[in-house]
Amino acid sequence: MEGDKKYITGEDLKQHNKEGDLWISIQGKVYNVSDWAHEHPGGDVVLLNLAGQDVTDAFIAYHPGTAWQYLDKFFTGYYLKDFKVSETSKDYRRLASEFAKLGLFEKKGHITMYALASIALMFCVVLYGVLCCKSIWAHLGSAVVLGFLWIQSAYIGHDSGHYQVMKSRGYNKLAQFLAGNSLTGISIAWWKWTHNAHHLACNSLDYDPDLQHIPVFA
């Protein structure tokens, strides 16, 4: 019953924002994910960044519908007394709804296949230019083509790492391995772990792995 519910305020929730004491709110229900943090498939950095806050939009954006069934075991028994949807969240949900209606989230596997075909063609051109030609200009031209190849493969790795761009999960993983691990030389599993954290803590010196890795890559 409504009168039997236990409540805490947003200020109370903010106190639980440290490692070993991580509470979050999803649609007004408060969950303790302290022990789950190190098992979280998305990594503990994401939870450390969002701890002590309402994370409804982030949860919906980064989890499949089946994830909801696992929340009950983390429920603290508390509800957020002053829970309300912010204007920013309302705008985000409205925008996501409009994009969905426009079909912008639909799979477009044929476009990815065209991109992979162009990568394969450029790879063949590079091999021919390096192995079969002795001209310095052919080698320089191959270097330019190789640069475009890496750029295109990075785009494919990025898009397939974010969501399923192919018609099946198997083909999507194949695109990830080819574009990420094989051509770009970056572990796609590691990249997905860090890049998802990047989107949830964009340009945060404390929680954005992409920003923290810039000195190494530079």
* Residue 6 CB partners (closer than 8 Å, separation 6+): 77, 78, 79
> What is the reported pLDDT for 8?
92
CA distance 128 to 216: 33
CA distances from 186 to 153, 154, 180 (A): 11, 9, 6
> What is the reported pLDDT for 155?
85
- DSSP strands (E only) in the chain: 6-8, 17-18, 21-26, 29-32, 75-80
- Whether the predicted pLDDT of 2 surpasses 60: no
For residue range 21-42, what is the model confidence (pLDDT) as tens digits?
Answer: 999 999 999 999 999 888 887 7
Over residues 140-164, the mean pLDDT reads 88
> What is the reported pLDDT for 85?
87
Q: What is the pTM of this model?
A: 0.69
Beta-bridge partner residues of 31: 24, 75
